[in-house]
Chains A and B, each alone.
Chain A
Amino acid sequence: MTDKSIEEKIVDSVKAKFPEDVIDAKVQRRNRVSISVKSNKIYDVGLFLRDELGFDHIASVSGVDYIDAREFEVIYYVWSMDKKVLVGLRTKIPRDNPVLKSLVDVWEGALYHERETWEMFGIKFEGHPNLSLLLLPEDWDGPPPLRKDFFLPETPQERLEEKIKRAGG
Chain B
Amino acid sequence: MILGLSFPQIVELILKVLIFPGLAFPLLFAMIVIWFERKFLARIMLRIGPLHVGPINRTGLFQPIADFLKLIQKEIIVPDNANKFLYNIAPIAALIVASLSVAFIPYALKPDGSYWVIYYTPLSLLLILAIFTARPFIMVAAGWASNSKYCTIGAIRAALQLLAYEVPIALSLASIAIMSGTFDLAKIVEAQSSIWFMILQPIGFIVILIAMMAELSRRPFDIPFAEQEVVFGWPTEYTGAQFALIMVSEYFDLCSVTSLITVLFLGGWSGPAIPLLNDISPILSGIFWFLLKMAILTVIIIMGRGIYPRLRIDQLLDAGWSVLIPLAIIQIIITFLTAQWWLPLLGGV
Q: Do A's and B's CB atoms come within 8 Å in the complex?
A: no
